[in-house]
Amino acid sequence: DAGVIQSPRHEVTEMGQEVTLRCKPISGHDYLFWYRQTMMRGLELLIYFNNNVPIDDSGMPEDRFSAKMPNASFSTLKIQPSEPRDSAVYFCASSFGTAYSNQPQHFGDGTRLSIL
């Protein structure tokens, strides 16, 4: 298995622009998670999906952030408009589980986002 695949690996853009991060989970996994990692705040859960349905988006910082999962093999995280404080590494992770997924989460390589 190729693991969780994220694209792009690096993104540099100017503030105000729309940013789209992409994730392909491991085939067969029914949970997908988006995290943001910064030195100051550590690893933060933004949102997670179960069977393509958003379950908890309480970690999404503002209305500028949105996430979708149109099918079992693809998810996007969008920031519009982007701001310098959004600069971080964004990780996608997936896992397989039942009602409460107490199974290991497997992380992608992340997208390093820099907003100038």
Q: Which residues are at the interface with other proteins (CB under 8 A)?
A: 33, 42-43, 45, 48, 50, 55-56, 91, 99-110
Question: What is the distance between the alpha carbons of residues 58 and 40, in angstroms, rounded to a whole number?
Answer: 19
- What is the identity of the amino acid at 115? I
Closest approach of other proteins to the CB of residue 48, in Å: 6
Q: Of the two residues 36 and 115, which places its CB atom closer to other proteins in the complex? A: 36
Q: How many CB atoms lie within 10 A of CB 56?
A: 13
Q: How many residues does the chain have?
A: 116
Q: Which residue has the tokens 């690096």?
A: 10
Q: Of the two residues 17 and 38, which places its CB atom closer to other proteins in the complex? A: 38
Closest approach of other proteins to the CB of residue 54, in Å: 12
